[in-house]
Copies of this chain bind each other. A is one copy, B any other.
Amino acid sequence: MKVGILTGGGDCPGLNAVIRSVVRKGVQQYAFDFVGVRDGWRGALQNDVVPLDISSVRGILPRGGTILGSSRTNPLKHEDGVRRVRDTLAAQDLDALVVIGGEDTLSVAAELDRQGIRLVGVPKTIDNDVSGTDYTFGFDTAVGIATEAIDRLHTTAESHMRTLVVEVMGRHSGWIALHAGIAGGANVILVPERPFDIDEVCAWVKSRFKIHYAPIVVAAEGAVPKEGQLILKDRTVDEFGHVRLSGVGEWLAREISERTGTDARTTVLGHVQRGGTPSAFDRWLATRFGLHAVDAVKDGDFGVMTALNGTRIVRVPLADVTGRTKTVDPSLYDEFGVFFG
């Protein structure tokens, strides 16, 4: 059997760990052959592949990024896209694909599956917003990096009367903000799922100063103030039609300074959260996803995605889990209410 592997979407620590375990188990246990499709769906459209064997995956487990490259190319937006993917599969003699990606990449996979292309999906995203799995790999690494940054800010918070704002990733969901904020002991956590009230944020900030300990505010990049608190010039509208705030971290520091008359500073972690070596948890999860993905290929169980369910890896139909973002459940957010403000 000959199998292609592709990685789509943004960087995510653990991609190489998946590639390695798919190839290791596929070659050693099932005698499969592999090729790597370059730059996600772009390579699938353009018949651009590289050979992939055990020596190609040696030493890549701890490395961030993806040895196959990635892109945001979407074959469904190309006329003839599906046919061209089929052509590549035929040209390379591929029996199946292992598709590693986030919501966008897996939605394409679900559609290709409907059109008869044999594939197995593996969910990845540092944002943890893919449905059907307890966690995605990359998320634990991102939370760890953001938590360490918050830890460092506590030093300043202990000795200066200054609000510290940290902007973390999460355009559509607040998983990183919530996890890192709780793990880091932040006083205010703002997530896209709940438009915030800037007056309430400022009231929290002021109450915090009264106990002589400066507040730390964690904001997901997709957090927005509630209706009417965002003046026109700060608004942007994203590709989904959602009103967004360009640079929520800077905006918060400015508003808090002006409204409370106290100093506020911002840290914007940006891409630092998605680079570097994966955490042990993410390597473990990514490795298991790879082992189970190749088993699904072996079983001819296509159109599924590997998923974490408690401590077990299971398969769920791609059709059931794509097309919607897994957002933070309000009850989970409320669970931590005593730590806010």
Residues of A within 8 A of B (CB): 10-11, 13, 21, 24-25, 28-29, 58-59, 61-66, 69-70, 134-135, 140, 143-149, 151-156, 158-160, 164, 179-180, 182-185, 213, 247, 250, 265-277, 279-281, 283-284, 287-288, 291, 309-311, 335-336, 338-339
Q: Indicate if the CB atoms of A11 and B310 lie closer than 8 Å.
A: no
Chain B residues near A267 (CB, 8 Å)? Answer: 268-272
Query: Which chain B residue shows the least CB distance to A66?
Result: B159
One of B185, B271, B284 near A156 (C-beta < 8 A): B271
One of B274, B280, B339 near A155 (C-beta < 8 A): B274
**Would you list the 6 A-B pairs with minimal beta carbon distance, nearest first?**
A155-B275, A152-B275, A64-B155, A152-B276, A183-B280, A267-B270
Q: Indicate if the CB atoms of A64 and B152 lie closer than 8 Å.
A: yes
Given contacts A24-B339, A159-B65, A213-B58, contact A143 B280 (CB under 8 A): yes
Q: Indicate if the CB atoms of B159 and A11 lie closer than 8 Å.
A: yes
Query: Which chain B residue shows the least CB distance to A313?
Result: B335
Q: Indicate if the CB atoms of A265 and B274 lie closer than 8 Å.
A: no
Q: A284 vs B180: C-alpha distance in the bound complex, in angstroms? A: 8
Chain A interface SS verdict (over half): helix
Q: Indicate if the CB atoms of B159 and A70 lie closer than 8 Å.
A: yes
23 A–B contacts, CB within 8 A, in A order: A11-B160, A21-B339, A24-B339, A29-B338, A62-B154, A62-B184, A64-B152, A144-B279, A147-B280, A147-B283, A149-B272, A151-B276, A179-B284, A183-B287, A265-B270, A266-B268, A266-B270, A267-B268, A267-B269, A268-B270, A279-B279, A291-B336, A310-B310
Q: Indicate if the CB atoms of B283 and A183 lie closer than 8 Å.
A: yes
Q: A11-B155, A11-B160, A65-B159 are in contact. List 15 more A-B contacts (CB 8 A).
A: A11-B156, A21-B339, A28-B338, A65-B155, A143-B281, A145-B152, A152-B272, A153-B271, A154-B275, A183-B281, A265-B271, A266-B268, A267-B268, A288-B335, A310-B310
Q: A158 vs B64: C-alpha distance in the bound complex, in angstroms? A: 10
Chain B residues near A11 (CB, 8 Å)? Answer: 155-156, 159-160
Query: Which chain B residue shows the least CB distance to A180?
Result: B280
